[in-house]
Chains A and B, each alone.
Chain A
Amino acid sequence: MIYSAGYSLAIILVMAAMTFLTRAFPFLFFSKGRQVPQVIAYLGNVLPPAVIGMLIVYSLRGTDVLAYPYGLPELMAVAATVLLHLWRRNNLISILGGTAVYMTALQVIFA
């Protein structure tokens, strides 16, 4: 520990406050019993599919396609998840299957 317990706690509190602030932001601005502006309601409708798409790319952002193994483990795992899901439409099977493919790819195939 490079800090006192008090300063460590202060860091945690600052992070907690700022994180909560980002999440509370829309509620602070649009929630006082007022009608939500139409453009905001529209964004609320179309953002989920866009944000989920963003999160997929975001969670794979560390993939280096220019160096061995050229993003192949990620490609295999994503393809496996999508195909399993189109085939069985069962969330758990798709996610577990994709994860198993990824772990095998990383630890065995491209080790």
Chain B
Amino acid sequence: MKKAFRAAFPHTVPVMMGYLFAGMAFGLMYQQCGYSVWWAGLMSLMVYAGSMQYVAVNFFVQPVGLLEVAVMTLAVNIRHIFYGLSFLEEFRQAGPKKPYLIFALTDETYSLLCSVKVPEGVDRGRMFFAIALLDQCYWIAGGMLGAAAGSLIPFDTTGIDFAMTGMFIVIFVEQWLSFPTKAPALIGVGSTLAALFLFGPEGLIFPAMLLMAVLLLGMRRPLEKKLEQKEGQP
């Protein structure tokens, strides 16, 4: 297990930067609604969903019903229903760690797990678990720090959250260079841009994912051929 954590840590550094500061922003906002460090920690422990927790702060500003909370959470997190599809087989082999791996499948952890190369001699399931757990620790630490001392940070952190965008970009470039076809990457960017243009920044995720799924399914035959060709090469 120690080996897995040692191998996992360097991969998680960008997430650490992103999560610590994004978590602090959440903790600070939540604390301003009158909730202590422990509440911020509890939410990051149990909910563990970055953008959702920003939205969630609004629930504590003006009274809401639980049904509304449920519907909003579903709407914001609906993109996650696709993430597990890439890990159906692999998580099955992770045994008792599987429920946690599913629980902790955030955007950032998903992208890391998609791209990580497990070194020889390290168990894949353990490495996945280490990445997921480290990421959540950063998120909890950030949230609690923000609630406790967010207003005391001595330097201007404006823009530091770009670290997470940067991580997505790096993974994108790596996949661009290695994936047998560029079409899925282009479909992903294109669909989301189209959804952003048509529906604006608040409502873009659902139409983007729908368009993406339709396009990917429509191009199934040619794309599957490309994937097979690549597999056939030495």
Question: Which chain A residues have a beta carbon within 8 Å of chain B's beta carbons?
Answer: 1-3, 8, 10-27, 30-31, 36, 39-62, 73, 77-78, 81-82, 85-86, 91-92, 94-96, 98-99, 102-103, 105-107
Q: How large is the interface on B (under 10, 10 to 19, 20 to 34, 35 or more residues)?
A: 35 or more
**Contact in complex: A27, B102 (CB < 8 Å):** yes
A-B contact count (CB 8 A): 255
**Contact in complex: A53, B185 (CB < 8 Å):** yes
**Complex: A94 Cα to B98 Cα, angstroms:** 32
Instruction: Among B39, B169, B184, B209, point to the contact of A46 (Cβ < 8 A).
Output: B184
Q: For the complex, is B61 an interface residue (Cβ under 8 Å from A)?
A: yes
**Contact in complex: B52, A36 (CB < 8 Å):** no
* Dominant secondary structure at the A interface: helix
Instruction: Among A25, A42, A95, point to the contact of B170 (Cβ < 8 A).
Output: A95
Contact mask for chain B residues 71-91; partner A; CB cutoff 8 A; 1 contact, 0 none: 001100111111111111101
Instruction: Among A1, A21, A42, A62, point to the contact of B201 (Cβ < 8 A).
Output: A62
**Contact in complex: A44, B88 (CB < 8 Å):** yes
Q: For the complex, is B119 an interface residue (Cβ under 8 Å from A)?
A: no
**Contact in complex: A92, B165 (CB < 8 Å):** no
Q: For the complex, is B149 an interface residue (Cβ under 8 Å from A)?
A: no
**Contact in complex: B170, A103 (CB < 8 Å):** no
**Contact in complex: A2, B160 (CB < 8 Å):** no
Query: Which A-B residue pairs are the 6 nearest by beta carbons?
Result: A53-B188, A50-B188, A26-B84, A95-B166, A18-B73, A57-B192
Instruction: Among B78, B88, B114, point to the contact of A52 (Cβ < 8 A).
Output: B114
* Dominant secondary structure at the B interface: helix
**Complex: A81 Cα to B183 Cα, angstroms:** 22
Question: Are A58 and B14 CB-contacts (below 8 A) given A2-B61, A51-B110?
Answer: no
**Complex: A44 Cα to B179 Cα, angstroms:** 14
CB-CB under 8 A from A95, the residues of chain B are 14, 17, 163, 166-167, 170
Specify the chain B residue showing the minimal Cβ separation from A7.
B66
**Contact in complex: B33, A1 (CB < 8 Å):** yes
Instruction: Among B35, B70, B172, B176, point to the contact of A18 (Cβ < 8 A).
Output: B70
**Contact in complex: B169, A85 (CB < 8 Å):** yes
**Contact in complex: B185, A52 (CB < 8 Å):** yes
Contact mask for chain B residues 177-196; partner A; CB cutoff 8 A; 1 contact, 0 none: 00100011111110111001
